[in-house]
Amino acid sequence: DAGVTQSPTHLIKTRGQQVTLRCSPKSGHDTVSWYQQALGQGPQFIFQYYEEEERQRGNFPDRFSGHQFPNYSSELNVNALLLGDSALYLCASSPGTAYNSPLHFGNGTRLTVT
Amino acid sequence: AQKVTQAQTEISVVEKEDVTLDCVYETRDTTYYLFWYKQPPSGELVFLIRRNSFDEQNEISGRYSWNFQKSTSSFNFTITASQVVDSAVYFCALSGPGFNDMRFGAGTRLTVKP
Protein backbone atom coordinates (compact mmCIF):
# COMPACT_ATOMS: atom_id res chain seq x y z
CA ASP A 1 0.00 0.00 0.00
CA ALA A 2 1.84 3.09 -1.27
CA GLY A 3 1.98 6.07 1.01
CA VAL A 4 2.14 9.70 -0.05
CA THR A 5 4.70 10.24 -2.80
CA GLN A 6 6.18 13.57 -3.81
CA SER A 7 8.39 14.63 -6.70
CA PRO A 8 10.95 15.87 -7.20
CA THR A 9 12.95 15.29 -4.03
CA HIS A 10 15.14 18.32 -4.48
CA LEU A 11 14.91 21.36 -6.69
CA ILE A 12 17.10 24.41 -7.23
CA LYS A 13 15.59 27.46 -8.89
CA THR A 14 16.56 31.05 -9.52
CA ARG A 15 14.71 34.02 -8.07
CA GLY A 16 11.83 35.02 -10.35
CA GLN A 17 11.35 31.57 -11.86
CA GLN A 18 8.31 29.34 -11.51
CA VAL A 19 8.17 25.86 -10.00
CA THR A 20 5.71 22.94 -9.96
CA LEU A 21 5.73 20.29 -7.25
CA ARG A 22 3.76 17.07 -7.49
CA CYS A 23 2.04 14.80 -5.00
CA SER A 24 0.21 11.48 -5.13
CA PRO A 25 -1.92 10.79 -2.06
CA LYS A 26 -2.04 7.60 -0.05
CA SER A 27 -4.33 4.99 -1.56
CA GLY A 28 -7.92 5.59 -0.45
CA HIS A 29 -7.35 9.26 0.39
CA ASP A 30 -9.15 11.97 -1.55
CA THR A 31 -7.96 15.14 0.20
CA VAL A 32 -4.57 16.74 -0.27
CA SER A 33 -3.04 19.51 1.83
CA TRP A 34 0.20 21.36 1.20
CA TYR A 35 2.50 22.71 3.87
CA GLN A 36 5.64 24.82 3.81
CA GLN A 37 8.30 24.05 6.40
CA ALA A 38 11.12 26.56 6.75
CA LEU A 39 14.34 25.42 8.37
CA GLY A 40 13.91 24.95 12.10
CA GLN A 41 10.19 25.66 12.07
CA GLY A 42 6.95 23.74 12.08
CA PRO A 43 4.92 23.16 8.91
CA GLN A 44 2.76 26.10 7.80
CA PHE A 45 -0.51 25.39 5.99
CA ILE A 46 -0.69 26.60 2.38
CA PHE A 47 -3.98 25.13 1.11
CA GLN A 48 -6.17 22.06 0.89
CA TYR A 49 -7.77 20.43 -2.14
CA TYR A 50 -10.83 18.23 -2.18
CA GLU A 51 -12.99 17.26 -5.14
CA GLU A 52 -10.61 19.17 -7.42
CA GLU A 53 -11.29 22.45 -5.65
CA GLU A 54 -9.34 24.56 -3.20
CA ARG A 55 -11.30 24.24 0.03
CA GLN A 56 -9.15 26.00 2.55
CA ARG A 57 -6.24 28.40 2.28
CA GLY A 58 -3.62 29.61 4.70
CA ASN A 59 -1.88 32.96 4.80
CA PHE A 60 0.07 32.64 1.56
CA PRO A 61 0.09 35.04 -1.41
CA ASP A 62 -1.56 34.32 -4.75
CA ARG A 63 1.85 33.36 -6.15
CA PHE A 64 1.06 30.01 -4.56
CA SER A 65 -1.54 28.08 -6.50
CA GLY A 66 -2.52 24.50 -6.90
CA HIS A 67 -4.53 21.93 -8.68
CA GLN A 68 -6.08 18.57 -7.96
CA PHE A 69 -6.70 15.99 -10.64
CA PRO A 70 -9.53 13.44 -10.92
CA ASN A 71 -7.21 10.72 -9.57
CA TYR A 72 -6.74 12.89 -6.43
CA SER A 73 -3.11 13.71 -7.18
CA SER A 74 -2.14 17.34 -6.79
CA GLU A 75 0.29 20.01 -7.91
CA LEU A 76 1.63 23.04 -6.11
CA ASN A 77 2.77 25.93 -8.29
CA VAL A 78 4.80 28.87 -7.09
CA ASN A 79 5.36 31.84 -9.40
CA ALA A 80 7.92 34.64 -9.21
CA LEU A 81 10.06 32.77 -6.72
CA LEU A 82 11.63 34.69 -3.85
CA LEU A 83 14.62 33.72 -1.75
CA GLY A 84 12.22 33.33 1.16
CA ASP A 85 10.38 30.55 -0.66
CA SER A 86 13.30 28.23 0.05
CA ALA A 87 11.86 25.51 2.27
CA LEU A 88 10.71 21.92 2.51
CA TYR A 89 7.31 21.56 0.88
CA LEU A 90 5.24 18.80 2.36
CA CYS A 91 2.19 17.17 0.88
CA ALA A 92 -0.28 15.46 3.20
CA SER A 93 -3.31 13.37 2.39
CA SER A 94 -6.34 12.31 4.38
CA PRO A 95 -9.63 10.47 3.83
CA GLY A 96 -11.92 13.49 3.65
CA THR A 97 -11.69 16.99 5.03
CA ALA A 98 -12.70 16.29 8.62
CA TYR A 99 -10.51 18.18 11.06
CA ASN A 100 -10.05 15.10 13.23
CA SER A 101 -8.37 13.06 10.50
CA PRO A 102 -4.65 12.50 10.98
CA LEU A 103 -2.62 13.70 8.05
CA HIS A 104 -0.31 11.31 6.21
CA PHE A 105 2.76 13.09 4.90
CA GLY A 106 5.18 12.50 2.07
CA ASN A 107 8.94 12.96 2.33
CA GLY A 108 8.69 16.45 0.92
CA THR A 109 10.37 18.45 -1.82
CA ARG A 110 13.35 20.53 -0.75
CA LEU A 111 13.22 23.78 -2.77
CA THR A 112 16.23 26.06 -2.85
CA VAL A 113 15.89 29.48 -4.45
CA THR A 114 19.15 31.24 -5.34
CA ALA B 1 -5.88 32.51 18.72
CA GLN B 2 -5.33 28.90 17.84
CA LYS B 3 -1.73 28.00 18.44
CA VAL B 4 0.69 25.41 19.74
CA THR B 5 3.80 26.18 21.75
CA GLN B 6 6.70 23.81 22.16
CA ALA B 7 9.06 25.70 24.40
CA GLN B 8 11.86 23.15 24.21
CA THR B 9 13.81 23.76 21.03
CA GLU B 10 16.36 20.99 21.55
CA ILE B 11 16.80 18.20 24.06
CA SER B 12 19.77 15.87 24.33
CA VAL B 13 19.73 12.72 26.45
CA VAL B 14 21.78 9.60 26.82
CA GLU B 15 20.28 6.30 25.75
CA LYS B 16 17.95 4.68 28.31
CA GLU B 17 17.07 7.99 29.93
CA ASP B 18 13.41 9.01 30.10
CA VAL B 19 12.51 12.25 28.34
CA THR B 20 9.36 14.40 28.28
CA LEU B 21 8.47 16.73 25.44
CA ASP B 22 6.18 19.59 26.40
CA CYS B 23 3.27 20.95 24.38
CA VAL B 24 0.95 23.79 25.36
CA TYR B 25 -1.95 24.84 23.17
CA GLU B 26 -4.50 27.64 22.84
CA THR B 27 -7.89 27.42 21.18
CA ARG B 28 -11.36 28.93 21.48
CA ASP B 29 -12.99 25.72 20.27
CA THR B 30 -14.56 23.46 22.89
CA THR B 31 -14.09 20.46 20.63
CA TYR B 32 -10.65 19.96 19.17
CA TYR B 33 -8.02 17.34 18.46
CA LEU B 34 -4.37 17.16 19.43
CA PHE B 35 -1.70 15.20 17.58
CA TRP B 36 1.94 14.26 17.87
CA TYR B 37 4.13 13.67 14.85
CA LYS B 38 7.74 12.49 14.51
CA GLN B 39 9.98 13.83 11.75
CA PRO B 40 13.13 11.74 11.19
CA PRO B 41 15.94 13.06 8.96
CA SER B 42 14.15 11.65 5.89
CA GLY B 43 11.67 14.52 6.22
CA GLU B 44 8.39 12.63 6.36
CA LEU B 45 6.17 13.48 9.33
CA VAL B 46 4.99 10.25 10.94
CA PHE B 47 1.70 10.31 12.84
CA LEU B 48 2.06 9.03 16.41
CA ILE B 49 -1.17 9.76 18.28
CA ARG B 50 -4.46 11.65 18.20
CA ARG B 51 -6.44 12.76 21.24
CA ASN B 52 -9.82 14.52 21.29
CA SER B 53 -10.66 17.24 23.78
CA PHE B 54 -13.18 15.10 25.66
CA ASP B 55 -10.81 12.25 26.36
CA GLU B 56 -8.34 13.13 29.09
CA GLN B 57 -7.34 9.56 29.72
CA ASN B 58 -3.61 9.16 29.48
CA GLU B 59 -2.32 6.70 26.94
CA ILE B 60 0.62 4.36 26.88
CA SER B 61 1.94 2.63 23.79
CA GLY B 62 5.08 0.66 24.40
CA ARG B 63 7.79 3.11 25.46
CA TYR B 64 5.60 6.09 24.53
CA SER B 65 3.06 7.74 26.81
CA TRP B 66 0.97 10.87 26.56
CA ASN B 67 -0.40 13.08 29.34
CA PHE B 68 -3.33 15.31 28.34
CA GLN B 69 -4.46 17.93 30.87
CA LYS B 70 -7.18 20.36 29.79
CA SER B 71 -6.79 22.36 33.00
CA THR B 72 -3.30 23.43 31.92
CA SER B 73 -3.89 23.15 28.14
CA SER B 74 -1.03 20.71 27.86
CA PHE B 75 -0.45 17.50 25.94
CA ASN B 76 2.97 16.19 26.92
CA PHE B 77 4.79 13.24 25.41
CA THR B 78 7.14 10.98 27.35
CA ILE B 79 9.58 8.46 25.93
CA THR B 80 10.71 5.88 28.46
CA ALA B 81 14.13 4.26 28.15
CA SER B 82 15.01 6.33 25.08
CA GLN B 83 16.87 4.77 22.17
CA VAL B 84 19.09 6.24 19.47
CA VAL B 85 16.33 5.56 16.92
CA ASP B 86 14.11 8.00 18.81
CA SER B 87 16.31 10.86 17.60
CA ALA B 88 14.10 13.11 15.48
CA VAL B 89 12.13 16.33 15.56
CA TYR B 90 8.79 15.94 17.31
CA PHE B 91 5.81 18.14 16.53
CA CYS B 92 2.66 18.73 18.51
CA ALA B 93 -0.34 19.84 16.45
CA LEU B 94 -3.89 21.10 16.99
CA SER B 95 -7.00 21.09 14.82
CA GLY B 96 -10.59 22.09 15.36
CA PRO B 97 -13.78 23.26 13.63
CA GLY B 98 -12.95 26.91 14.20
CA PHE B 99 -9.92 27.01 11.98
CA ASN B 100 -9.10 25.70 8.57
CA ASP B 101 -5.86 23.83 9.05
CA MET B 102 -3.79 21.70 11.39
CA ARG B 103 -1.60 24.03 13.47
CA PHE B 104 1.86 22.80 14.31
CA GLY B 105 4.25 23.86 17.01
CA ALA B 106 7.83 24.77 16.13
CA GLY B 107 9.00 21.29 17.09
CA THR B 108 11.47 19.85 19.59
CA ARG B 109 14.65 18.28 18.26
CA LEU B 110 15.48 15.23 20.36
CA THR B 111 18.95 13.75 20.20
CA VAL B 112 19.56 10.44 21.95
CA LYS B 113 23.24 9.67 22.36
CA PRO B 114 24.53 6.11 22.73
pLDDT tens-digit map of B33-64: 999 999 998 889 999 999 999 888 888 889 99
- Strand, coil or helix: what is A85? helix
Is B65:B59 a contact under the CB 8 Å cutoff? yes
- Between chains, do A41 and B106 touch, taking CB under 8 Å as contact? yes
Instruction: Pick B52's closest partner by Cβ from A40, A48, A100.
Output: A100
Evaluate whether B39 touches B88 at the Cβ level (below 8 Å): yes
Please give the average per-residue pLDDT across B1-20, as a whole number: 96
What is the pLDDT confidence band of residue A100, given thresholds at 50, 70 and 90?
Answer: confident
| C-beta of residue A47 within 8 angstroms of C-beta of residue A64 | yes
Q: Which residues of B touch A108 (CB under 8 A)?
A: 43-44
Q: How much is the mean pLDDT over chain B?
A: 93
Q: Which pLDDT score, from 0 to 100, does residue A54 have?
A: 94
Q: Percent of chain A, pLDDT > 90? A: 91
For residue A96, CA distances in Å to A1, A11, A25, A93, B44 come to 18, 30, 12, 9, 21
pLDDT in tens, A4-48: 999 999 999 999 999 999 999 999 999 999 999 999 999 999 999
Per the document, the length of chain A is: 114
Smallest CA–CA distance from A38 into chain B, residue: B106
pLDDT digits (tens, 9 = 90+) for A62-78: 999 999 999 999 999 99
Rounded percentage of chain A residues whose pLDDT exceeds 70? 99
Average pLDDT over residues B74-92: 97
Which residues 11-70 of B have a C-beta within 8 angstroms of A? 33, 35, 37, 42-47, 50, 52
Cβ–Cβ < 8 Å for B108, B21: yes
Model confidence at A94: pLDDT above 70: yes
Which of A50, A103, A111 is the mutation pick for testing B, counting most B CBs within 10 A? A103
- Rounded distance, CA A50 to CA B91, Å? 25
Query: Which residues in chain B touch residue A96, judged by CB atoms under 8 angstroms apart?
Result: none
Chains A, B: CB pairs < 8 Å: 59
pLDDT at B98 over 80: no
Å between A55 CA and nearest CA of chain B = 9
- Given an 8 Å threshold on Cβ–Cβ distance, is B47 in contact with A104? yes
Test B45 with A43 for CB contact under 8 angstroms.
Answer: yes
Residue B72 pLDDT greater than 70, yes or no: yes
**pLDDT at A1 > cutoff 70:** no
For residues B72-93, give the mean pLDDT: 96
Under DSSP, is residue A83 helix (H, G, I), strand (E, B) or coil?
Answer: helix
On chain B, the residues whose CB falls within 8 A of the CB of A100 are 33, 50, 52, 95
pLDDT at B1 over 80: no
Cross-chain CB nearest to A99 (options B46, B95, B104): B95
